[in-house]
A and B are shown apart, each in its own frame.
Chain A
Amino acid sequence: MDSTLEKQIASASRSVEEARRMAYNDPARVGELVEQISVLADLRQKEGDFRKAESLYRESLFRVKDLRKPDPELLAGIHSLLAYLYDRWGKMDLAADFYEKALKISEQHGFQDADRAATIKNNLAMIFKALRQNAKAEKYYDESLETFKRLYGEQHNKVASLYNNLGVLHYANLDVDKAQEMHERALAIRQALSPAEIDPGDLSQTYINLGAVYKATGDFQRAEECVDRAKRLRTTLNGYTPLPRRSASLLLDRSA
């Protein structure tokens, strides 16, 4: 195993213990404990020990719930972290359950942070897609897309991501025309972004998806063109594809 990760885990464990001692003597300091626990849980997840990560997140969940006035934002955050963990673990129904709980909490307390709610909806949609509940998935994608459009306008990376995800969904539904439309929109946005904003990984993904769509329509020439462009982009990346780690980030459907 990675020895730096091991060291990080050891030091995070010590901080958690110290925080536990503090919280034991002074229940008001549970907040710090929850923070330390999340750090450790995140490392555990990196290590691949999902069981330990799960029980750490769940400990902080119940610690927060035990407070006299649980902070709804914190609660929603822990729920979506847990959901993301279950998602990676392959426990899709639990993931859906926790994302929905997180959404419910944010809606009940009318969070200003519409971006986060939309992100959760996007991730939730991906889980429903994995569970083959495509109608539900489409609904959540649409809602998420609406929010992002309202927040950032049409010309934004996140909007493009949503178009991409919707495109993948339509493709899975064998609705190639709609899929093509979505991916073309995504491409249009991504190409128009300023060079600093362009994420070559995302752009190449769009080319690949678009290639698949053209292939399905029988337009092999354009399909090949797209795949070539994607390949060229990929070579500039040296095989490096940053994956979003925290649930706070917007997941991109790379399954096509």
Chain B
Amino acid sequence: DPIEGLARTCNNCHGTGGVSVGYSMPSIAGLSETYLKNILMEWKSGARASANMTRLIKGYTDEEIAALAGYYSKLPWTAQVQPAAKELLAKGKDVTERCETCHGATGGQPDDKETPRLNGQWAKYLELEMLKYRDEGFQMTHKKMMKNTRKMEEGDVATAAKYYGAQSK
């Protein structure tokens, strides 16, 4: 499969087969095709900021991006379950109540194809993503995510991230 050769350059950062073992790097295998294509094309057009991905992705054609999105979406989602203390999980459940309609109770049942899975994604990465949505100087695109994360108490951001990181499904 010719797309595999292309995808191998992504796997340096995202892990063999798109499954990350680095806490600050997201796993990308098993995310939905719509979400993958959407985020990659927003980076390419410049609509969305990223410290890294905006620079890299401009080297790929639209067709390659579509093919990469198709390729990674067909791989299975591998949740890296990161155990957390009972109290943290309870608190996490609490602070992610307003997130449930879109992400499902444990982050693994997104309500549509534009919403990424959060269960077993690396907590460190999720925390950094929320910092991006919360930061006025960082150009994100999804208004509702920006609004929802900005409503959170600062101290709850890491809690929510660890809550989702601890979920298997």
Q: Do A and B bind each other?
A: no
Contacts from A to B (Cβ < 8 Å): none
